[in-house]
Amino acid sequence: MKKKVLAMFLATTMVLSLTACGSSEKTPATEAENAATEATTEAGGETTQASADAVTINFSFDQGVGEPTQKIVDEFNDSQDEVHVNCVILPQDAGAVHDDFVNKLASEDTSVDVMALDVTYVAEFGAADWLLDLGDYFDSTTTDQYLAGTIEGATYDGKLVAFPWFTNASALFYRSDVLDELGVTEVPTTYEEWEALAEKAKGVNGVEYLASFQAAQSESMVCDWVEYLWNHGGEVLNEDGTPNINSEANIKGTQKMVDWVNDYAPEGVTTYTETESEQVFLAGKSLLIRDWSGFWSSANAEGSDVAGKVGVTTLPVGEGGAEGHSCLGGLDLVVNKYIDDAHKDAAIKFIKYLTSYDTEKEMTLIAAQPPVLKAVYEDADILKEIPFYADFYNVIQGGKSRPLSPSYSKLSDAIQRNVHEALTGEVTVEDALNALQAEAESLQ
Amino acid sequence: MAMNKKKGKVSLEKAESRAAWIMMAPAIVVLCVIAVYPILRTFWLSIHEMVLTDPASGYPFVGVKNYIQIFQDKRAIASIIFTLKFTVCTVAFELFIGFGAALIMNNAFKGRGLVRAAILVPWAIPTSVSALMWKFIYNDQYGMFNDILYRLHIIDSYKAWLSTSGGSFMALVVTDVWKTAPFMALLILAGLQMVPDELYESAKIDGANVFQRFFSITLPIVKGTVLVALLFRTLDAFRVFDLVSVMTGGANGTESISLYAYNNLMKFLDFGYGSALAVMIFVVVFIISMIYMHFMGDKLDEM
Amino acid sequence: MNQKNLKVFRKILFYFVTIAFVVVLLLPFIWQFLTSVKPLNEIAAIPAKWIPSKINIQYYFNVFQKHPFGKYLLNSLIVAASTTVLSILIGASAAYALARLRFKGKKIMLMAILSISMFPTIATLSPLYLLLKKAHLLNTYGGLIIPYITFALPMAIWLLTNFFSQLPKGFEEAASIDGCSRAGIFFRIMLPLIKPATFSVGLLVFINAWNEYIYALTFMTNDNMRTVPVGIALFPSNYELPWGDMAAASVVVTVPLILLVLIFQKKIVAGLTTGGIKE
């Protein structure tokens, strides 16, 4: 008797748990019917839309460019009925996006077809052999129309494993009202010229610091640091790819960064990524900020205390440097190698659309992301909307990429730790770069 | 007669044992189905060389090589030491504060309900939000932490708390204690609720003071609950990841062992070594649990 | 007279300590709340500004208008509530066996259950993804509920085992003499006795499930199935860190939990005096 009751109790719990799961599964299914765009994400490979013969592909990208991208995808879906694109949006965090893609690709998952991948990870994904070779779909007359640096960055081991979508370059934003007040007519071009303004600018229109930038232990700091090196004539790697980190020029460049952390920036700059550094500038506390080109719109947006008082110029040059080089970023489009041919063709069709003249132009206008198609920089509408793009083309042409290597994540991690220690004064610049050199050599 | 009685007892025990397994069956099924595969797979990966960016290697079997590497890896050792320090500090403060809060809430007073709800607020804010929020709070320009200390004249200028190793450690401990002391408080309160009031009354009559009552009545009864709560807090604190990752990113000597394992697994795509680190965490935590089990000793036998 | 003064003094001291404690504890949340009603340019004002110059409730509208936040809340509620109920049922049943029934291998069983909580979450992520994919559970509530139960069970079982074992011995015998079956004993006598503890454990399980991020991000890729923490993480874009929206959202998700506690207040704290163990 007892046993029976117990067994019944057990059965009830089981049934309860089953029904709880069973009924809940129905909900997404009905959701799916409502949202006609739904594709079963687990089996993207087999699913096509019931209504038409369209192939449904899943496009995964981050919320950083979420809204404008969604708009462009909608336009694509409306423009034709062969391919239907479903958006899988991830948080705006390059690390989280990377991890999500790794998880899926490492398990040969086909739930995503096209991914927007940060340029620094292309070599890594290429080395892991997860990406479709796009070389067969894009010939050199096509690729020649795009910025050479971005095509180079999309190539791994001689294969075009990605296609550039948009790029990103840094620039120096400054308070034009303060320069006017100080009677400065020529915008400074060297670190020293800016330093000379530091004392004078203090107290003018609320300015307290010369500079705000990104020096927290993070990927953003790596971008800032390589710029200091380049602009002092340094390089991270030799032509042959071997590390050359503790060179004269690199020591000089790193020392300049340390000086700016110590003497010209808020005390907390070694904890700043983009957000925190921007808040200092937006509150009117710093004369200049090194940031990505897209900051132009936030600087002039609602909530900014400095709207209309912002100028933009190239990064400063230091001793031994020839010109101010920006660090290039941006997103590439990659195709999952494991999907079937029908999906591959659909994916290529979609990528061609995204990188076409009209779409690149629209994306530039609505998302303020620098395009990769050269011709767009000469477009009259673009120049009317974003006047500084006339000069910006040269900034991007003079821009450089971080080292392209499958083990970039490890190199970047070593840079972050060692350089950050130098910035916080835990170790001397020389010691930090020597240690970094040794670590980089061990990665070879 | 005697024989019969013994036989009856044996079959009773058998029945009881069978009932026990039936009652545990749902739990065992769920745990086996979901948890066993990930754990076995991690073990398996940890004895292979598997760097995803190097598929040409064929991912060979390497035995304990990855484990030996841990002991030669200064960074791994440093992260284990940091994590131990962090665990000891946070758990100690949480115990102290949680116990205090539970004792307060166990009293009958006006507004007790509100206090009980309020104390859960820190625990209830999603970690992804609260870590960001605290980063904001420690900011050197507009952070609330600076503002309060400055107004109270404890500091004479705003500080960049997260830029030094001492400051970062302090900030992480404060945030974690703030977030998880409620966990401790709620459980200890539940333990206190199990103490019958009569025990206090009779002790009062016997003339025992507050401290005597605490040590002779309260503590023995809540000891089991406190140890279990401590055990789970320790396991969680030792695996700290989100908090460190958002607030410092491991800068200034605050890389936790979970963060380091994560870096190897997901950032460097070194699944072999990263899995070995994960197993290492498992082993350390297992040892800690054994120590707790030892303290629970008799308590556990009663269970 | 003196005695009375002392009593009053102690009462004041008690309230003072309690209030101070609660204020310190709530300070970050109060700050968060104030942030959620500040005008945009005062959120990151330097130096920090406590009291907004005017109340701005725009962020609360943003939360629901710019994002399907109501849907996120519903998903979180379904997932967290199912996880809690099932974990408690499965956990209490196992805990009862571990605490009150005689069988061999208890210690090993307890340790084996505990060891589930010993792995770093990140190492379980990709194998679980594979597993759920094979079971076609990605983008379903079950795909979150089942892993959540798994990782809630060790804590639930250990705590409940501890509470069951504190009940006086010989309870079941008395009950079974009264003609109660074992299931009857469990449901009608033992479970009600540890009700306050069950509610506390349930609350912890609920909040853990409510706040979980990384599984929810990985296993629910469809926007309709997202939970609150992931939803909030999707707020920031390249153009803005909508701190006001995020503050408002975190207030919105915290309030239901507070209400929940207030509603179940009596149950959480209903002491043993009402439980009937008094002898």
Tens of pLDDT, residue by residue over A345-365, are: 999 999 999 999 999 999 998
C202-207 average pLDDT score: 90
Interface probe, candidates A3, A6, A9, chain C, greatest C C-beta count within 10 A: A9
Q: What is the pLDDT of residue C266?
A: 66
Q: What is the pLDDT of residue C267?
A: 63
Give C270's contacts in chain B (Cβ within 8 Å): 193
Give the domain range for residue A55.
Answer: 51-168+329-397
Q: How confident is the model at residue B169 (pLDDT cuts 50, 70, 90)?
A: very high
Q: How confident is the model at residue A2 (pLDDT cuts 50, 70, 90)?
A: very low
Q: What is the pLDDT of residue C46?
A: 73
State percent of chain A over pLDDT 90.
Answer: 70
Q: Which residue in C has a C-alpha nearest to residue B128's C-alpha?
A: C229
Largest Cα separation within chain C, whole Å, is 76
Q: What is the pLDDT of residue C269?
A: 55
Do residues A349 and A82 lie in contact, with contact meaning Cβ atoms separated by under 8 Å?
Answer: yes
CA distance B7 to C119: 44
* Distance in Å, alpha carbon of C4 to nearest chain A alpha carbon: 54
The string of pLDDT tens digits covering residues C12-71 is 888 888 888 888 888 888 888 998 998 887 887 777 788 888 888 899 998 898 889 999
C273-279 average pLDDT score: 36
Q: Is the pLDDT of residue B21 over 60?
A: yes
Is A161 found in the same domain as A193?
A: no
Give A304's contacts in chain C (Cβ within 8 Å): 41
Residue with more model confidence, A440 or B214? A440
Is A366 found in the same domain as A435?
A: no
Chain A stretch 121-180, residues whose beta carbon is closer than 8 A to a beta carbon of chain C: none
User: Has this prediction a pTM greater than 0.90?
Assistant: no
Q: What is the pLDDT of residue A215?
A: 96
Is A361 found in the same domain as A292?
A: no
Q: How confident is the model at residue A36 (pLDDT cuts 50, 70, 90)?
A: very low
In a domain, A23, yes or no: no
Question: Is any Cβ of chain A less than 8 angstroms from the Cβ of B268?
Answer: yes
Give C235's contacts in chain A (Cβ within 8 Å): 63
Q: What is the pLDDT of residue B299?
A: 56
Instruction: List the subunits that have 3+ CB pairs under 8 angstroms with B.
Output: A, C
Three-class SS of chain A: CHHHHHHHHHHHHHHHHHHHHHHHHHHHHHHHHHCCCCCCHHHCCCCECCCCCCEEEEEEEEHHHHHHHHHHHHHHHHHCCCEEEEEEEECCCHHHHHHHHHHHHHCCCCCCCEEEEEHHHHHHHHHCCCECCHHHCCCHHHHCCECHHHHHHCEECCEECCEEEEEEEEEEEEEHHHHHHHCCCCCCCEHHHHHHHHHHHCCHHHCCEEEECCCCCCHHHHHHHHHHHHCCCCCCECCCCCECCCCHHHHHHHHHHHHHHHHHCCHHHHHCCHHHHHHHHHCCCEEEEEEECCHHHHHCCCCCCCCCCEEEECCCECCCCCCCCCEEEEEEEEEECCCCHHHHHHHHHHHHHHCCHHHHHHHHHHHCCCECEHHHHHCHHHHHHCCCHHHHHHHHHCCECCCCCCCHHHHHHHHHHHHHHHHCCCCCHHHHHHHHHHHHHHHC
CA distance A225 to A416: 9
In a domain, A296, yes or no: yes
Chain A stretch 122-141, residues whose beta carbon is closer than 8 A to a beta carbon of chain B: 124, 127-129
The string of pLDDT tens digits covering residues A90-109 is 998 888 899 999 999 998 99
Q: What is the pLDDT of residue B197?
A: 73
Give A18's contacts in chain C (Cβ within 8 Å): none
Q: How confident is the model at residue A20 (pLDDT cuts 50, 70, 90)?
A: very low
In a domain, A272, yes or no: yes
Is A408 found in the same domain as A393?
A: no
Residue A214 sits in a domain whose CATH number is: 3.40.190.10
Q: Is the pLDDT of residue A14 over 50?
A: no
C175-203 average pLDDT score: 80
Q: What is the pLDDT of residue B186?
A: 85
Q: Is the pLDDT of residue A22 over 80?
A: no
Is A216 found in the same domain as A246?
A: yes
Least confident window among A128-132, A258-262, A264-268, A389-393: A389-393
Is A293 found in the same domain as A209?
A: yes
Q: Is the pLDDT of residue B75 over 90?
A: yes
Sign of CA dihedral B24, B29, B35, B39: positive
In a domain, A164, yes or no: yes
Residue corresponding to tokens 């129905």: A26
| Class of residue B112 by CB neighbours under 10 A (exposed 0-12, middle 13-18, buried 19+) | middle
Q: Do B126 and C210 count as a contact with CB atoms less than 8 A apart?
A: yes
Is A98 found in the same domain as A201?
A: no
Residue corresponding to tokens 């900011």: B139
Q: Is the pLDDT of residue A52 over 90?
A: no
The neighbouring-strand residues paired with C176 are: none
Q: Is the pLDDT of residue A43 over 60?
A: no
Instruction: List the subunits that have 3+ CB pairs under 8 angstroms with C.
Output: A, B
Q: Is the pLDDT of residue A50 over 90?
A: no
Q: What is the pLDDT of residue A17?
A: 38
In a domain, A20, yes or no: no
Residue with more model confidence, A8 or C241? C241
Question: Which is the CATH superfamily of the domain at C67-274?
Answer: MetI-like (1.10.3720.10)
Q: How confident is the model at residue C79 (pLDDT cuts 50, 70, 90)?
A: very high
State percent of chain C over pLDDT 90.
Answer: 31
Q: Do C163 and B194 count as a contact with CB atoms less than 8 A apart?
A: yes
Is A384 found in the same domain as A320?
A: no
Candidates C85, C218, C225; nearest CB to A103: C218
Candidates B26, B249, B268; nearest CB to A10: B26
A434, two tokens:
């020597």
Q: Which residue in A has a C-alpha nearest to residue C123's C-alpha?
A: A103
Q: Do B190 and C197 count as a contact with CB atoms less than 8 A apart?
A: yes
Is A135 found in the same domain as A205?
A: no
Q: How confident is the model at residue C196 (pLDDT cuts 50, 70, 90)?
A: confident
Domains in chain B, CATH or no CATH each: 41-302 (1.10.3720.10)
The string of pLDDT tens digits covering residues C103-147 is 888 888 998 999 888 888 888 888 899 899 889 999 999 999 999
* Distance in Å, alpha carbon of C225 to nearest chain A alpha carbon: 7
In a domain, A34, yes or no: no
Give C271's contacts in chain B (Cβ within 8 Å): 193, 197
Q: Do C139 and A63 count as a contact with CB atoms less than 8 A apart?
A: no
The string of pLDDT tens digits covering residues A147-187 is 998 999 999 999 999 999 999 999 999 999 999 999 999 99
**Measured CA distances, A203 to A12, A197, A259, B249 (Å):** 74, 12, 21, 34
Q: Tell me the average pLDDT of chain A.
A: 86
Candidates C48, C131, C201; nearest CB to B143: C48
B127-142 average pLDDT score: 85
Is A334 found in the same domain as A270?
A: no
In a domain, A16, yes or no: no
Q: Tell me the average pLDDT of chain B.
A: 87
Q: Is the pLDDT of residue C2 over 80?
A: no
Q: What is the pLDDT of residue B4?
A: 53
The string of pLDDT tens digits covering residues A317-349 is 999 998 889 999 999 999 999 999 999 999 999
Q: Which residue in A has a C-alpha nearest to residue C127's C-alpha?
A: A107
Q: Do C94 and B275 count as a contact with CB atoms less than 8 A apart?
A: no
B64-79 average pLDDT score: 94
Question: Is any Cβ of chain B less than 8 angstroms from the Cβ of A142?
Answer: no
B18-39 average pLDDT score: 90
Residue with more model confidence, B116 or A208? A208
In a domain, A40, yes or no: no
Q: Is the pLDDT of residue A128 over 60?
A: yes
CA distance A250 to B103: 60
Is A429 found in the same domain as A321?
A: yes
Q: Is the pLDDT of residue A205 over 70?
A: yes
What total number of domains does chain A contain? 2
The string of pLDDT tens digits covering residues C238-274 is 767 788 898 899 888 888 778 877 777 666 555 433 3
Question: Is any Cβ of chain B less than 8 angstroms from the Cβ of A337?
Answer: no
Q: What is the pLDDT of residue B9?
A: 65
Is A256 found in the same domain as A218?
A: yes
Q: What is the pLDDT of residue C278?
A: 31
Q: Tell me the average pLDDT of chain C.
A: 85
Candidates B25, B142, B251; nearest CB to A10: B25
Question: Is any Cβ of chain B less than 8 angstroms from the Cβ of C8?
Answer: no
C77-82 average pLDDT score: 95
Q: Do A9 and C93 count as a contact with CB atoms less than 8 A apart?
A: yes
Q: What is the ipTM of this complex?
A: 0.86
Q: Do B120 and C257 count as a contact with CB atoms less than 8 A apart?
A: yes
Chain C stretch 166-225, residues whose beta carbon is closer than 8 A to a beta carbon of chain B: 166, 182, 186, 196-197, 200-201, 203-204, 207, 210-211, 213
* Distance in Å, alpha carbon of A95 to nearest chain C alpha carbon: 13
